[in-house]
């Protein structure tokens, strides 16, 4: 009986304990959703097992959001967690999205720290003082970092991006900045600010400096009497947005009544198109459209509100703005003779399909038509005004003026305008007619040099010498000749000094001279081979330079043995170069027959493994690499004290650091090697597929050989295909020929087949391919300099249509 009683007691205790064990995971889950964040807690981008940090109600979440237009990049953000579109209300790294496997961690010393997979810092919140003890995401969407005494050290509400939330305030000097576009979270062209005079305003700004242009909306809360000026913008918990004056008067920016904040979310967002909108969204969402409802837009009509000052307005230059049903701008080009500057960005402005403002002795009004648009105006860019005038006189005046691109007529006044046109709008309130001048037929400009002359200033300076000498007085000429003679003597002595034996001159160099034994020890007997190239074999090693650092040691094969001076001179030239896109030379060894160079070690290896291997880089990464290589070559060709021609530009000679920044290797080594060093052609420096035609034609070798090789490499970077590929049937596929065929036939998308990111960036794709075709011209005089290549790649100058690059070759 006693045994049965004990057994019964055990069973009686077991059931509650078992029930508590079952409930324990639920308790832990609830504990994780309290909004509290501990020191060293972290979230990793792209980790499907990781969950964002949630507020207690789970209304808001903090973590990583994958970018819609690039699946490899992430935005560190706060968003509404329970509604279908999970609207982002705050973000940290808009201008520098984080790659996959990046991590955000709460630290005691720096607060939130966002790092790359390699440990590089992308963004940090910072803290005001002391040490952080915890973080907390509350149910208002505010992320707070506090110390052990619960004092706030940092909060997201004090560092807003493009959105204000209920309970959030903005003091004098505070601002919101729009995004650049719907999917680009970099700083955009519009701002909402509370000025120090108390006025809350919307204005455009100049990128990238952020210089504010004239306001297009204001709250009228400024006051010369400081005691009555606006001191803060308040978005209260009921969903009302207002400016609070110093005398506690509220100036509402929310018109009428708003829906209940108990049942609805509220936010105020400065959209990328410049419209500041108050929104609401039901909390208990169950079906329906799921869209945010608009409470108010500021201004009421952005198309007609932006009138004064500089900038391009919501639609870019040469565009027309109209409103949609949501009071947001719709942008379009004014006529079929214009097209979007960027086909992927309808807010980025338009370009004409014909040369503009072309004035010469052959100009004739008969070559032009005027296209009429009603209720349309561009209020800026006037350069002539006629009043009183009639419409016939106005149109005639524009046709006969070679500078006039548009005439505006209204109420007896005529305005003549030049491109680019700014703040275009079409609205029934605009009681004016616009006449756009367009060229008839297929008029083209006379043939001219494909590239502007300004990158070649030396010729211009040379041409000025003779007129200066002939146009000055005898005494001035005497002084000038004396000055020239002095400069000649000075530089001649300097040249003699450079050619003197090493012991007779002092060369400023940071290069370290290693012994062969030191490098043998550093590389463990040259055991770990990193790669082989046309200049020798590369080994990994470690040297002591205050710390033990990894290096790449290159053993040069068959070095020119003319003299000790020749080797040291060329190495010193290489050692004096310094550019972020060049591999840095640390030191050298010149001992007996041994010639070695010691370089910085780059952990990601060569570009070839990322172009032709299993792991492919994204389109944005590849374009940045191309720009980096171009900058490095420009430095070697034009910015070094001694011009350096590489002679072997190819993917294997482009190395990548931990952030995939490109660095050119093996530059300047050509002079150190025998002429027949190349593995491909006798007496030719370079590699098959990258060699310019002048090597075969006994022509002078200039920096244009590197431009040719860069053009081939650029096509490889674009297409991720080798310059020469042997197919299964034994036939060879030459990338340059195929790329030009694709370009000529208007199907360059074939070069990036299945690369969605590149296909969504057709404007840049077309520009890069066109620049590459200019670079691979067989006639070196047609190839641009690297300076011109940079200007075209960065879209600073227009890229002309290239001729066939193979006039001397039968393909």
pLDDT tens across 101-138, in order?
999 999 999 999 999 999 899 999 999 888 999 999 99
pLDDT tier at 536, thresholds 50, 70, 90? confident
Please give the average per-residue pLDDT across 272-290, as a whole number: 82
Closest CA to 425 of 350, 319, 325, 348: 319
From the annotation, which residues make up the binding site for ATP? 555
Q: Please give the average per-residue pLDDT across 668-692, as a whole number.
A: 54
Yes or no: say if 715 and 748 are a contact pair by the CB < 8 Å rule: no
Closest by CA position to 104, among listed 75, 139, 145, 146: 75
pLDDT at residue number 685: 55
Of the pLDDT bands very low, low, confident and very high (cuts 50, 70, 90), residue 565 is low
What is the pLDDT at residue 499? Answer: 42
- Provide CB contacts within 8 A for 650, sequence distance 6+: 608, 687, 689, 690, 709, 713
Regarding predicted confidence, which is higher, 267 or 421?
267
Of the listed ranges 244-248, 519-523, 636-640, 748-752, the least confidently predicted one is 636-640
Identify the residue with better confidence: 682 or 315: 315
Binding-site residues, please? 555
**Structure token pair of residue 711:** 């053009």
Residue 676: predicted pLDDT: 38
Comparison of pLDDT for 576 and 717, the residue scoring more: 717
Domain locations in the chain as residue ranges: 31-159, 165-300, 309-439, 504-601, 606-811
3-state secondary structure of 8: helix
What's phi and psi for 358, nearest 5 deg? -95, 110
- Give start and end residues of each alpha helix (H) in 436-473: 457-470
* Region of poorest pLDDT, from 246-255, 503-512, 571-580, 758-767: 503-512
- Three-state SS string across 380-425, please? CCEEEEECCCCHHHHHHHHHCCCCCCEEEEECCEEEEECCCCCCCE
- 509, burial (CB in 10 Å: exposed 0-12, middle 13-18, buried 19+): middle
Give the DSSP per-residue string, 470-525.
HTS-HHHHHHHHHHHHHHHHHHHHHHHHHHS-GGG------PEEPPHHHHHHHTTT
Looking at the predicted structure, is the pLDDT value of residue 14 above 80? no
Q: pLDDT digits over 222-246, tens only?
A: 876 677 889 999 999 999 999 999 9
Q: Would you state the pLDDT for residue 122?
A: 93
Cβ within 8 Å of residue 547, ≥6 positions away: none
pLDDT in tens, 449-478: 455 443 333 333 333 332 333 333 444 444
As a whole number of angstroms, the distance between CA 261 and CA 166 comes to 9
Start-to-end C-alpha separation, the chain? 105
Place of tokens 């909306």: 217
HSE on the CB side for 82, CA within 13 Å? 17
Query: What are the pLDDT digits (tens) for 658-674?
Result: 888 999 988 766 655 44
pTM: 0.54
The DSSP annotation for 689-711 comes to: TS--GGGTTTPPP-THHHHHHHH
3 classed as catalytic: no
Hey, what CATH topology would domain 309-439 get? Hepatocyte Growth Factor (3.50.4)
Quote the crossing angle between the two packed helices 704-719 and 619-634, to the nearest 10°: 170
Domain 31-159 indexed as CATH 3.30.465.10: no
pLDDT, mean of residues 54-62: 95
**Looking at the predicted structure, is the pLDDT value of residue 5 above 80?**
no
Average pLDDT, the chain: 81
For residues 332-347, give the mean pLDDT. Answer: 88
In terms of Cβ atoms closer than 10 Å to its own Cβ (0-12, 13-18, 19+), residue 46 is middle
pLDDT band at 773 (very low <50, low <70, confident <90, very high): very high
Q: In the structure encoding, which two tokens stand for residue 157, read together?
A: 């509400």
CA gyration radius, the chain: 34
Tokens linked to 489 = 């003597």
* Owner of token pair 């304990």: 17
**Which member of 162, 273, 377, 648 is catalytic?**
648
Q: Is the dihedral of CA 340, 344, 345, 348 positive or negative?
A: negative
CB 433 within 8 A of CB 372: yes
* Fold of domain 606-811: Transferase(Phosphotransferase); domain 1 (1.10.510)
Task: Quote the pLDDT of residue 85.
Answer: 85
Mean pLDDT of 376-398: 90
Q: Is the pLDDT of residue 275 over 70?
A: yes
- State residue 607's pLDDT score: 92
Domain spanning 165-300: CATH superfamily: Bulb-type lectin domain (2.90.10.10)
Q: Would you say the CATH fold of 504-601 matches that of 309-439?
A: no
Please give the class, per CATH, of domain 504-601: alpha beta
């Amino acid at each position: 009986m006693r045994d049965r009683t004990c057994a019964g007691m055990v069973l009686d205790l077991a059931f509650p304990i078992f029930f508590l064990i079952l409930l324990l995971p639920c308790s832990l889950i609830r504990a994780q959703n309290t909004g509290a964040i501990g020191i060293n807690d972290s979230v990793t981008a792209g980790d499907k097992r990781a969950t964002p940090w949630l507020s207690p109600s789970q209304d808001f979440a903090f973590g990583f959001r994958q970018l819609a237009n690039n699946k490899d990049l992430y935005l560190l953000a706060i968003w509404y967690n329970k509604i279908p579109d999970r609207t982002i209300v705050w973000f940290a790294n808009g201008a520098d999205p984080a790659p996959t496997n990046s991590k955000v961690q709460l630290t005691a010393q720096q607060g939130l720290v966002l790092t790359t997979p390699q440990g590089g810092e992308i963004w940090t919140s910072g803290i005001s003082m002391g040490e952080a003890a915890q973080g907390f995401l509350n149910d208002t969407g505010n992320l707070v970092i506090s110390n052990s005494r619960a004092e706030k050290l940092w909060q997201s509400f004090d560092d807003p991006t493009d959105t204000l939330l209920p309970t959030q305030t903005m003091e004098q000097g505070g601002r919101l900045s729009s995004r650049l576009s719907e999917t680009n979270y970099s700083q955009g062209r519009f701002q909402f600010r509370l000025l120090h005079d108390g006025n809350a305003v919307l204005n455009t700004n100049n990128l990238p400096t952020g210089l504010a242009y004239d306001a297009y909306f204001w709250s009228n809360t400024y006051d010369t009497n400081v005691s009555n000026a606006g001191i803060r913008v308040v978005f209260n918990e009921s969903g009302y947005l207002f400016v609070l004056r110093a005398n506690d008067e509220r100036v509402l920016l929310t018109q009428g009544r708003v829906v209940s904040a108990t049942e609805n979310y509220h936010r105020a967002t400065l959209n990328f198109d410049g419209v500041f909108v108050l929104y609401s969204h039901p909390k208990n969402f169950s079906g329906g459209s799921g869209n945010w409802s608009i409470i108010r837009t500021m201004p009421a009509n952005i198309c007609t509100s932006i009138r004064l000052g500089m900038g391009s307005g919501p639609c870019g230059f040469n565009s027309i703005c109209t409103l949609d049903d949501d009071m947001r701008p719709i942008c379009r080009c004014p006529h079929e003779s214009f097209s979007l500057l960027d086909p992927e960005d309808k807010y980025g402005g338009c370009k004409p399909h014909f040369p503009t403002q072309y004035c010469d002795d052959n100009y004739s009004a008969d070559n032009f038509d005027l296209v009429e648009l009603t209720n349309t105006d561009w209020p800026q860019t006037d350069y002539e005004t006629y009043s009183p005038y009639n419409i016939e006189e106005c149109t005639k005046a524009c046709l006969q003026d070679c500078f006039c691109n548009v005439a505006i007529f209204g109420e007896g006044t005529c305005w003549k305008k030049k491109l680019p046109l700014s703040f275009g709008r079409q609205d029934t309130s605009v009681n004016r007619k616009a006449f756009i001048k367009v060229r008839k037929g297929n008029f083209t400009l006379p043939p001219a040099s494909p590239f502007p002359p300004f990158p070649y200033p030396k010729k211009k300076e040379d041409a000025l010498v003779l007129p200066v000498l002939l146009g000055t007085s005898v005494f001035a000429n005497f002084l000038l000749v004396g000055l020239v003679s002095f400069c000649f003597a000075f530089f001649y002595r300097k040249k003699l000094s450079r050619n003197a034996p090493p012991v007779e001159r002092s060369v400023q160099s940071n290069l370290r001279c290693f012994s062969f034994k030191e490098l043998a020890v550093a590389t463990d007997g040259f055991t770990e081979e990193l790669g082989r190239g046309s200049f020798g074999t590369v080994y990994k090693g470690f040297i002591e330079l205050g710390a033990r650092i990894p290096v790449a040691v290159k053993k040069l094969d068959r070095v020119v043995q003319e003299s000790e001076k020749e080797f040291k001179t060329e190495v010193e030239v290489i050692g004096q170069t310094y550019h972020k896109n060049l591999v840095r030379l640390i030191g050298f060894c010149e001992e007996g027959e041994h010639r070695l160079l010691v370089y910085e070690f780059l952990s990601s290896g060569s570009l070839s493994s990322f172009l032709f291997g299993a792991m492919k880089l994204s389109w944005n990464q590849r374009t940045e690499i191309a720009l980096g290589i171009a900058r490095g070559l420009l430095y070697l060709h034009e910015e070094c004290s001694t011009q350096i021609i590489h002679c072997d530009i190819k993917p294997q000679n482009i190395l990548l650091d931990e952030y995939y920044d490109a660095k050119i290797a093996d530059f300047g080594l050509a002079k150190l090697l025998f002429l027949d060093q190349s593995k491909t052609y006798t007496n030719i420096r370079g590699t098959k597929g990258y060699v310019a035609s002048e090597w075969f034609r006994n022509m002078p070798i200039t920096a244009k050989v590197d431009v040719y090789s860069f053009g081939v490499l650029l096509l490889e970077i674009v297409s991720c295909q080798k310059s020469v590929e042997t197919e299964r049937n034994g036939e060879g596929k030459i990338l340059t020929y195929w790329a030009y065929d694709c370009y000529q036939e208007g199907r360059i998308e074939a070069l990036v087949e299945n690369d969605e990111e590149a296909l969504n960036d057709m404007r840049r794709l077309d520009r890069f391919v066109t620049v590459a075709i200019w670079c691979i011209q067989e006639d070196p005089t047609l190839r641009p300099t690297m300076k011109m290549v940079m200007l075209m790649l960065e879209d600073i100058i227009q890229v002309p249509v290239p001729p066939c690059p193979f006039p001397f070759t039968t393909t």
